[in-house]
Amino acid sequence: MKTRLQERYEKIVVSDVMKKNGLKNPHQVPKLEKIVLNVGAGESKENPNFMKSVVEELALITGQKPVVTKAKKSIATFKIRKGLPIGAMVTLRGSRMYEFLDRFLNFALPRVKDFKGVSPKSFDKYGNFSIGLKEQIIFPEIVYDKVLKIHGMDIVFVMKNGSPSLSKDVLEGLGMPFRKK
């Protein structure tokens, strides 16, 4: 079963982007391939419960079990040893990805304090878009009283065959509120 945003992409966004940019083939329009959420939890070396809470919160937010990332090498300055758990990440694809995007755009982003839109400068040369959040409590799934510590996260929207301008048009069509200049 297709989600609301998935149908919107196929029926409205593709044709709008083709008209706006003079594209002839619908396969030239960038497609959202995956969404990657990443939390750096370097503080887990002092507090082992912190990593558990990060994993539980990411699972609540995404509906998918996160992968715990480990240090690839030892760094004495930061007191990190090789193999020490230092973060967690989730990769969303398909209908889960579109459901998360829908919740993110309609429920989480409006809860950001003093929100004026996301920066349109956060595209790389391949059309992938990145957002850094300062607090995980903007997601309605997180109960503030159960939060061990407030932490941030990075969200990357990976686009297939995109350029920055085309990817921006696609994300705008899906409802991403870009900041006006």
Which pLDDT does position 45 carry in this prediction?
67
Q: What is the pLDDT of residue 6?
A: 92
pLDDT for the residue numbered 159: 95
Residue 28, pLDDT above cutoff 80: yes
- Tell me the domains of the chain and their CATH numbers: 4-21+31-174 (3.30.1440.10)
Nearest to 35 by CA among 89, 91, 87: 91
The pLDDT, as a whole number, for residue 131 is: 93
Closest CA to 83 of 92, 93, 73, 97: 73
Check if the beta carbon of residue 129 is closer than 8 Å to that of residue 123: yes
Q: Please tell me the predicted confidence (pLDDT) of residue 86.
A: 84
**Of residues 160 and 72, which shows the higher confidence score?**
160
Q: How far apart are CA 16 and CA 168, in angstroms?
A: 12
Put the strands of the sheet holding 67-70 in their side by side order.
Answer: 67-70, 85-92, 31-40, 153-160, 129-133
- pLDDT value for 12: 94
Average pLDDT over residues 35-41: 91
Could you report the per-residue pLDDT of 45-101, keeping only the tens digit for each?
A: 677 788 888 899 899 999 999 999 888 888 787 777 887 888 899 999 999 999 999
- Give residue 165's pLDDT: 92
pLDDT in tens, 105-134: 999 888 888 888 899 999 999 999 999 988
